[in-house]
Amino acid sequence: MNQHTPDMKGFSRRRFLQGVIGGTGLSVITPSSFAKDPGKTSFANTPSVLVDVTRCIGCRACMRACKNANELPDNTDLSEGFPISWEHQELRFDQWTVVNPSTGANANGDAVTRNIKSQCMHCLEPTCVSVCPVGALTKSELGPILYNADRCIGCRYCIMACPFDIPKYEWHSGLSPVVGKCQFCTRNRLSQGRLPACVESCPTGALKFGRRDSLLFEAKARIDSYPDRYINHIYGEKEAGGTAWLYMSDVPFENLGFKSSVETSPMPPLTWDVLSKIPIVAAAMAGLFGTLAWSLNRQEQSE
Amino acid sequence: MIGWIFIVVCTLSLIGISLCVVYDKRPRFLRHVTAITILCIWAAALWTLIRRFSEGLGAVAGVNDLAPWGLWIGADVFAGVALAAGGFVIAATVHIFRIERFKPILRPTVLTAFLGYVLVAVALFIDIGRPLSWWHPLVMWQGHSIMFEVTWCVVLYSTVLAIEISPVVLERLGLTRLLRLVKATTIPVVIAGVILSTMHQSSLGSLYLIVPGKLYPLWYSPLLPVFFLISAVAAGMCVVIVESFFSAKILKRGLESSLMAALGKAASFILFLYLLIKFSDLAASGAWDLLYERNLQSNMFLLEMLGGVALPAILLSFQRIRNREKFLLSASLLVMAGIVLNRINVSWIGMSVHDQLNYYPTWMEIALSLGFITAGTIIFFLAVHYLPVFPKTEEEPPEAISAGSKTGLMPA
């Protein structure tokens, strides 16, 4: 295991790693087994969460629940009751979800404020899993994207490549920093048939857990029933090829600070299309240069 | 603030020392100034290293969650690998294409490349968060990752360079049997080196294929791997010119002027090819219009393309300029600056959102980078001093003898 560095307040690294690495009962599938044949894999069953932005009151109970469930340090003002201030909160390696108010123009052009929860989107075809050189990030059999600190080398390519800028890094650790991001409570709750901590803690029903296809169905039904209330866009349905976290809103997502530059097709093929051709190119070069060197050498010797 | 003043003073001092060498001015205090400057840089670099390994990257570098790769990756690794490309270019020229007149500069070039890769490996060891796990990609395979491929190529190519440069050491130690063994494997080793170099030089560009929404469209292109490879070849050649020039000055030996001019000509061709593909790609992708937006990105792009590519390409296309040592040197330095700027633009300016830079390097990052450059230079000249790197041609012009075949080292 890892070197044991001094524990942070209320946060035991060992427990953290156990949470992340443990759960050996859960087998993981490597990207090679799903990225080759994305068509064959059905994502309809993927455990997902539908976030209805219009229902979120910004109580930040999900932030607190996340910290408790994952034994992350609770060093914010969230430890007791409602937050005492509305300080802006950033995702950190030890803070896997945040809720922040965001003000933007709605369809009528009026500036309105909505509370936006952020966490890992759990892409169906995850960029981070495809770029990780050591398989420290994997897509679990259930669907969520998990991180294994024991494999990680700290290259931070996942942070650089993530289309949603989600993974965060422990910048102030000398030799054993970790990458932190939402694990969808896979090992500590989902695998035991319990809801993710944030969903369970939500008092308003802004978060709804379920199969991806039924959540998409429900979201579309809500939009159809209240076409004046919702915009006709489910963020995460197509972004980065589809994500397990789905958002619906009454304000256009780009006005609320959602990334609008995210491609709608899956990202991993961008590099795989190049990478998969390397063996052929290498073999061709070996043949070409081998023949060239050999024939020029013979020519010289015969002269 | 004091740190930045220190960096500026050290940099000016290094430039001053280089100018003294270029113009053959050797004031009496030059030695002392050189020694003091380098020792100061190394002390600062050591301080940076101690803090990096005890308190983490965040304590010494400006890198953050929005800009996880900073100057150590952009300048030291990306530009370092590109500048070391001369090794495979000259090795292929001599051993595959059999253009034997380049043989006199083969060894110093391969030595430069080898030292370059060693420094890149050290830089990576410092920059990755868990350096003690650096070997994981070699064992825990993840074949869908460009980073995995790059790691393997860099490890293998460093081995290839070590084999290519080993005759220098073996000859010095008089191990003739081992020498003959190495000599027998030269051609396959060189071919492997060319393939590995092609792969990872281009793959450093492929690393950015995954961020179409983040990298500014003036740099993002599906052809990134091609651009990284082509520019590295041109820059590698110019490094050979610069390195030969300074070796000639410092070791007081003749400069292989005709070879240098030939390299300059080849670099000019490659730079024009690069310009052609780059601007066709810009026109085809529609990013051309962004050139007229006078923002940070377009300014940096124009500086890179005009100052670091077009200008030296034009300069090097004139024979009269190529034949004058100092003009050739200046044009080559422009190409080197151009490629460093390109890698910094891709990894930093292009990854920032408009005029808001996502990261500012600290003086400590620059101190360590200067430490790498000075250490590499000093190791190079120590190696040249103690090992038979250059052909022994103090009296005769270098082209007159085929140094390799005379010493029985290189396969004729």
Q: Which residue ranges make up each domain of chain A?
A: 13-32+42-267, 276-302
Task: Please report where in the chains the tokens 């700290």 appear, as a residue.
Answer: A154
Mutation to test the B interface, candidates A90, A170, A278, A291, most B Cβ within 10 Å: A278
Asked if residue B137 has pLDDT above 50, the reply is yes
Can you list the alpha helix ranges (DSSP code H) found in A81-208? Answer: 127-131, 157-161, 197-201
H or E stretch covering A101: strand A98-105
Question: Confidence class of residue A2 from pLDDT cuts 50, 70 and 90?
Answer: very low
Please name each of the domains of chain B with its CATH number.
2-407 (1.20.1630.10)
Contact A156 B129 (CB under 8 A): yes
CB contact under 8 A, B151 and A133: yes
Of A153, A168, A173, the CB nearest to B128: A153
Residue B37: its H or E element = helix B30-55
- In chain B, what residues touch A152 (CB-CB under 8 Å)? 129-130, 133
Is B351 in contact with B214 (CB distance < 8 Å)?
Answer: yes
**With 70 as the cut, is the pLDDT of residue B315 above it?**
yes
CB contact under 8 A, A160 and B92: no
The partner residue sitting opposite B195, judged by closest CB among A173, A286, A292, is A286
Confirm if B219 and B346 have CB atoms less than 8 A apart.
Answer: yes
pLDDT at A81: 52
Tell me the chain B residues in contact with residue A272 when contact means C-beta distances shorter than 8 Å: 144
- Residues B78, B351 contacting (CB under 8 angstroms): no
- Residue B402 reports pLDDT greater than 70: no
Tell me whether residues A153 and B137 touch, CB distance under 8 A.
Answer: yes
Least confident of A29-38, A68-77, A129-138: A29-38
With beta carbons less than 8 A apart as the criterion, state whether B113 and A132 touch. Answer: no
Interface contact A261, partner B, CB < 8 A: yes
Q: Is A132 on the interface with B (CB under 8 A)?
A: yes
CB contact under 8 A, A134 and B142: yes
Per-residue pLDDT at A42 = 73
Report how far residue A166's alpha carbon sits from residue A143's, in angstroms, rounded to the nearest whole number: 17
pLDDT of residue A300: 79
- Chain A residues with CB under 8 Å of B141 CB are 135
SS3 for B203? Answer: helix
> Is residue B141 classed exposed, middle or buried when 0-12, 13-18 and 19+ CB atoms within 10 A define those classes?
middle
Given a cut of 60, is residue B139 above it in pLDDT?
A: yes
Please check whether residue B410 is in contact with residue B111, taking contact to mean a CB–CB distance below 8 angstroms. no
Residue of A nearest to B348 (CA): A160
Question: For B206, which residue in chain A has the nearest alpha carbon?
Answer: A271
- pLDDT per residue over A192-240, tens digit each? 999 999 999 999 999 999 999 999 999 999 999 999 999 999 999 999 9
Q: How far is A238 from chain B (nearest CA, A)?
A: 15
Name the fold adopted by A13-32+42-267.
Alpha-Beta Plaits (3.30.70)
Q: pLDDT, tens digit, for every residue of A100-115?
A: 999 999 888 899 999 9
**Cα A216 from Cα A246, distance rounded (Å):** 8
Does the pLDDT at position B82 exceed 50? Answer: yes
Q: Measure the CA–CA gap between A259 and A254, rounded to whole angstroms.
A: 6
With CB atoms and an 8 Å threshold, state whether B64 touches A285: no
Question: On the CB side of B184, how many CA atoms lie within 13 Å of its CA?
Answer: 6
Minimum CA–CA partner of A32 in chain B: B144
Residue B257 confidence class, pLDDT cut points 50, 70, 90: confident
* Residue (of B377, B100, B101) closest to B256 by Cα position: B101
Q: How far is A229 from chain B (nearest CA, A)?
A: 30
Q: Which range, of A2-6, B90-94, B141-145, averages the lowest pLDDT?
A: A2-6
DSSP symbols for B130-171 = -GGGTTHHHHS--TT-HHHHHHHHHHHHHHHHHHHHHHHHHH
Proportion of chain A above pLDDT 70, given as a percent: 82
Return the higher-pLDDT residue of B392 and B221: B221
Predicted local confidence at residue A76, as pLDDT: 60
Report the b/e string of A32-42 with b at 16+ CB within 10 A: eebbeeeeebe
| Confidence bin at B42 (pLDDT 50/70/90) | very high
Q: Which residue has the higher pLDDT, B399 or B5?
A: B5
Q: Could you give the CA distance from residue B39 to residue A72 in angstroms, rounded to a whole number? A: 44
Decide if A176 touches B, using CB distance below 8 A: yes
Q: Smallest CA–CA separation between B405 and chain A, in Å? A: 14
pLDDT recorded at residue A75: 64
Tell me, yes or no, if A291 comes closer than 8 A to chain B by beta carbon.
no
- By Cβ distance, the residue of A171, A289, A293 closest to B56 is A171
Q: Percent of chain B scored above 70 by pLDDT?
A: 95
**Cβ <8 Å between B147 and A300:** no
From CA A181, how far away is CA A170, in angstroms rounded? 11
Q: Which residues contact B297 (CB under 8 A, 6 or more apart)?
A: B216, B218, B290, B349, B350, B352, B354
* CB atoms B98 and A297 under 8 Å: yes
What is the least distance, in Å, from the CA of A251 to any CA of chain B?
22
How far B199 CA lies from chain A's nearest CA (Å)?
7
Q: Per DSSP, which regions of B21-153 are E strands?
A: none
Choose, out of A258, A275, A281, the residue to mutate when testing the contact with B (most B CBs < 10 Å).
Answer: A275
C-alpha span between B253 and A90 (Å, rounded): 60
Burial class (CB in 10 A: 0-12, 13-18, 19+), B49: middle
pLDDT of res. A78: 55
Q: What pLDDT, on the 0 to 100 scale, is given for residue A20?
A: 39
Judged by a CB distance cut-off of 8 A, whether residue A265 touches chain B is no
Here the ipTM equals 0.89
Residue of B nearest to A260 (CA): B213
Q: Which residues of B touch A135 (CB under 8 A)?
A: 140-142
Dihedral angle, C-alpha B216, B217, B219, B221, nearest 10 °: 130
pLDDT in tens, A52-75: 999 999 888 899 899 999 999 876
Q: Please name the residue of chain A whose CA is at the shortest distance from the CA of residue B52.
A: A174
B365 three-state secondary structure: helix
pLDDT band, very low/low/confident/very high, at A1 (cuts 50, 70, 90):
very low
A159 touches chain B (CB under 8 A): yes
pLDDT value at A9 more than 50: no
Q: Please judge whether A134 and B136 are an interchain contact, meaning their C-beta atoms are less than 8 angstroms apart.
A: yes
Q: Which of A151, A176, A267 sits opposite B210 (nearest CB)?
A: A267
Distance CA A153, CA B249 (A): 43
DSSP type of residue B304: I
Of B65, B144, B194, the CB nearest to A169: B65
For residue B389, give the nearest of B132, B164, B58, B76 by alpha carbon.
B164
Q: What is the pLDDT of residue A77?
A: 57
Q: Between chains, do A155 and B128 touch, taking CB under 8 Å as contact?
A: yes
Measured between CA atoms, the residue of chain B closest to residue A149 is: B130
Mutate to test the interface with B, among A175, A178, A296 (most CBs of B within 10 A): A175
Interface membership of A105 toward B (CB under 8 Å): no
Give the pLDDT band of residue B403 (cuts 50, 70, 90). very low
* % of chain A residues with pLDDT over 90: 65
